[in-house]
Structure 1
Amino acid sequence: MGRGLRGYLATATCARLADDGMAVSVTLLALHRTGSAAQGAAVLAAWMAPHAVAAPLTGALAARARGAGAAFHVAALGVFAAAIAGVALTLGRAPVPVVLAVAALGGCCGPMVTGGLSSLLAGLVPDSGARARAYALDAATYNAAGIAAPAAVTTTAGVWGAGPAMATLAVSAAGAAGLATTLRVPRPAARRADRPGRRRSPSRSPLWEELLGGLRVLWRIPALRGITAATSLAFVGVGGLAPAAVVLADERGYPGGGGLLLTVLAAGALVGALGAARRGPGLSDVRLAGICLVGTGAALLGAATAGPHPLCVALFALAGLFDGPLLAATLRIRADHAPPAVRTQVFTLGAGLKTTAASAGAALTAASASALSPAQLLAGLAALQLAGATLLYGIPHSVHPEEGPEKGPEEGPEQRTEEPGP
């Protein structure tokens, strides 16, 4: 593993630990200072809501800053850390609109913690053979943070209090910003001169055109369109898994057993992602994503109908084993098929759409919980995984990563930039 990849993984892990710990931390802090979780829920909503709205803008701004390497990512992570610290200081002490504004500011940086960081890997690991392993390890950082962050926040809050627990998340995010300064992302090549001896002044398309550029690429390139639609639909189901697991375990006589189901799901995803880092060539990422969606859906469907609770736990772990490689395949498809000029936008848009889909899934699950049994609820969420797999049917399975299947809309003959080779 190269030094650049190690530095990236450390950066991503610190950033995602902070992000994944916010839900538990905000809830605990609101309970401690106000005696109710209501304000915590409002702050968390303000934290999550801007993800999809901010994703196109942050992606476009990051693309404009490509010449500065990872500088934009450093700045975004710095604001992200400051927002976490701001919420820790103001929640329960300042007027609610102030707290919500601080949380919304941090949420605007959320797409850079997820898709924005992942988009850097294509430049840090230009070799297409090593890139598959790099994205599998990147997927593992999401899974590891999903397991470690809630446990770390809960433990810290129990020992030192809810305020210090959130402060540790701010420190983790600030550490990510510091580590990001060490990332050596290749800068794009200089633009060509119009004629010998005379360099044309660089032209820049309007920001609104760049905002639309990422959306056009997502729609025009079949692999990107397919994986975005498939994972967004699947994430409607993923967003409802937490409440569905809780009510399923309660109904079957295991109060609090929903936490175990979610833990083994996340652990299985971590193992699956690490296993994907060792897989050899021969299976395309599009085909792998389809298999993973079918496997996840089938395992969750089995858990919905399983009688013995230990079997249900095992099937949740199996669902996680399929889910880990799915994220790795998704990241690799985005890197291989997105033109370099809009790659960051593709990553941030994909991450923002998945976050929005998960929020919608949580809301739909809450609205349906009274009308459906827990088993029916989980079966419906499993069906969304299977439906997502059908959206990948018929998509070409292989395009050489270095060829780029299509030029991005802003990569005309005079404007195109290229990243240096290895």
Structure 2
Amino acid sequence: MQVRTAVMRYLGGATLARGADAGAAVGFVLLKPTVVGAVLAACLTAPHLLGPVLARRLDRARDGRRLIAVVCAAYGVFLAIAALGLDRIPLVLVVLAAATAGVCGPLLTGGLSSRLAALVPGDERAQRRAQGLDALSYGTGGTAGPAAAAALASLTGARVSLLVLATAAVIAGLLVLSLPAAGNPVPRDEVLSVRQALTLILTTGPLRRVMYTTVVASVPGGAIAVIAVAYAPALRVSPGTAGLLAAAYGFGVLLGSLAVTARPLLGEPERLVTRTGALMGVAYGLCAAAPGFALAFAGFTLIGVLNAPFFTATLASRAAYSPPQARAQVFVSMAALKVGGQSAGTAAAGTALGLGARTLLLIGAALIIATAAATVLDRRRWP
């Protein structure tokens, strides 16, 4: 019962934290639908690349939950300062507050995930079920956060919606603080430096292959919303209707996460990443061939469904192949690279809209399938 309670508290805290992180960018754009809003949204995502520096502090912490709880609270406080300060204090201070919240973001994603393994029994099935729940928290937060920001903005105003998201982050910190304490088994002086941790990822075969597969798959994943709207002419529907394809993808992620929680993925994590990634690439190709809206809707849902076991397998890989001396740094570094890949995918799709949605989907399919094939060759040459 204690394990179940701890996991449910983790799920609640992780969902709130990730929902606040995902929804805040939408809130800023709605609050200031100009270049200022876009800059503030970027301030929340760009600092994710600094995540490994903060993750090292988590690896060295005697009680990681306290650091994560403080970071969740800090995210909420600085988000609230930016929301309340916009148009009321100098813009540079608002940007600084948003960027500070952005620096906290990596511990709300990869940092939290790195603590999950200590909350559940060590057997494979229990660990994989917990990782499925973690994927569910990402999917739920990533869907509910932006939706809540948009809905609240229409009802109470964007500023209030940002304050609600800030409160959610603070509550997430309290839930994390209520989790069982898990001491760090590694002496502080044995924790790897940031450079050593990044070198470890590049030189450890399974981690390297999971890393570049995650990054490549995140590129078309980040472009989903853009591609969905761009599909309107080919499907002979309005842009608003085509936008529902992005919702279908999010719905699929939730369905897939529930499935891998109920029936955990078993087997070597790295091979699962290759297999589920290849299947996801095939799904992108099927979407490109959809003759009408109904089949395209089903195809986008399928991509989301397959993304869930793929993402769960990447989480399992980080847990299986990262040493205790750099666990948080491995989790956060891969999460940061994934965010970077998603941002690159969004930007690339926006600049290549002239190619058409079908071509963009085919490019995404080719990238993912080719990467899956590359992992097989990589594994044979450098196990």
Q: Contact 1:240–1:381 (CA<8 Å) still a contact in 2?
A: no
1:313 match: 297
Alpha-carbon displacement from aligned partner over 1:344-387 (angstroms, at most 9, x marks no partner)? 000000000111111112222222223x1222122212222223
Q: Contact 1:242–1:258 (CA<8 Å) still a contact in 2?
A: no
Count of aligned pairs: 377
Q: Contact 2:226–2:349 (CA<8 Å) still a contact in 1?
A: yes
Q: Contact 1:18–1:172 (CA<8 Å) still a contact in 2?
A: yes
2:353 match: 369
Q: In 2 relative to 1, CA 302–29 (structure 1 residues): closer, same or farther, beyond 3 Å?
A: same
1:131 match: 127
Q: Contact 1:241–1:381 (CA<8 Å) still a contact in 2?
A: no
1:338 match: 322
Q: In 2 relative to 1, CA 23–382 (structure 1 residues): closer, same or farther, beyond 3 Å?
A: farther
Alpha-carbon displacement from aligned partner over 1:123-169 (angstroms, at most 9, x marks no partner)? 11241321110001100111111222222222212221111111110
Distance 2:374 2:329 in 1: 22
1:233 matches 2:216: yes
Distance 2:57 2:21 in 1: 21
Kindly, what percent of the aligned residue pairs are identical?
34
Q: In 2 relative to 1, CA 38–258 (structure 1 residues): closer, same or farther, beyond 3 Å?
A: farther
Shift of 1:19: 0.9
Distance 1:132 1:280 in 2: 5
1:55 match: 51
Write the letter of the residue equivalent to 1:225.
Answer: R
Q: Contact 1:116–1:347 (CA<8 Å) still a contact in 2?
A: yes
1:204 match: 189
1:389 matches 2:378: no
Shift of 1:396: 6.5
Shift of 1:177: 0.9
Among 172, 188, 191, the alignment partner of 2:184 is 188
Distance 1:165 1:22 in 2: 9
1:109 matches 2:109: no
Q: Contact 2:228–2:244 (CA<8 Å) still a contact in 1?
A: no
RMSD: 2.1
Q: Contact 1:223–1:395 (CA<8 Å) still a contact in 2?
A: no
Shift of 1:15: 0.2
Distance 1:248 1:139 in 2: 28
Q: Contact 1:229–1:391 (CA<8 Å) still a contact in 2?
A: no
Among 345, 352, 365, the alignment partner of 2:336 is 352
Q: Contact 1:81–1:171 (CA<8 Å) still a contact in 2?
A: yes
Distance 1:280 1:173 in 2: 29
1:408 match: none
Q: How does 1:9-408 map to 2 (within 5 A)?
A: 9-31=11-33, 37-52=34-49, 54-65=50-61, 67-129=62-124, 130-189=126-185, 204=189, 210-254=193-237, 255-279=239-263, 282-370=266-354, 372-393=355-376
Distance 2:201 2:114 in 1: 15
Write the letter of the residue equivalent to 2:70.
Answer: A
Shift of 1:281: 6.3
Q: In 2 relative to 1, CA 6–324 (structure 1 residues): closer, same or farther, beyond 3 Å?
A: same
Q: Contact 1:115–1:344 (CA<8 Å) still a contact in 2?
A: yes
Write the letter of the residue equivalent to 1:97.
Answer: V
Q: Flag structure 1 segments of 5+ consecutive residues without an equivalent.
A: 32-36, 192-202, 398-404, 406-422
Shift of 1:234: 1.2
In the superposition, the TM-score normalised over structure 2's length comes to: 0.93
Secondary structure at the residue paired with 1:256? helix
Q: In 2 relative to 1, CA 282–105 (structure 1 residues): closer, same or farther, beyond 3 Å?
A: closer
Secondary structure at the residue paired with 1:187? coil
Write the letter of the residue equivalent to 1:9.
Answer: L
1:420 match: none
Question: Rg: which structure is higher?
Answer: 1
Q: In 2 relative to 1, CA 49–6 (structure 1 residues): closer, same or farther, beyond 3 Å?
A: same
Distance 1:281 1:308 in 2: 33
Write the letter of the residue equivalent to 1:374.
Answer: A
Distance 2:375 2:261 in 1: 22
Q: Flag structure 2 segments of 5+ consecutive residues without an equivalent.
A: none
Distance 1:212 1:282 in 2: 32
Q: Contact 1:55–1:111 (CA<8 Å) still a contact in 2?
A: yes
Distance 1:367 1:258 in 2: 19
Q: Contact 1:268–1:318 (CA<8 Å) still a contact in 2?
A: yes
Q: Which moved more, 1:214-223 or 1:225-234?
A: 214-223
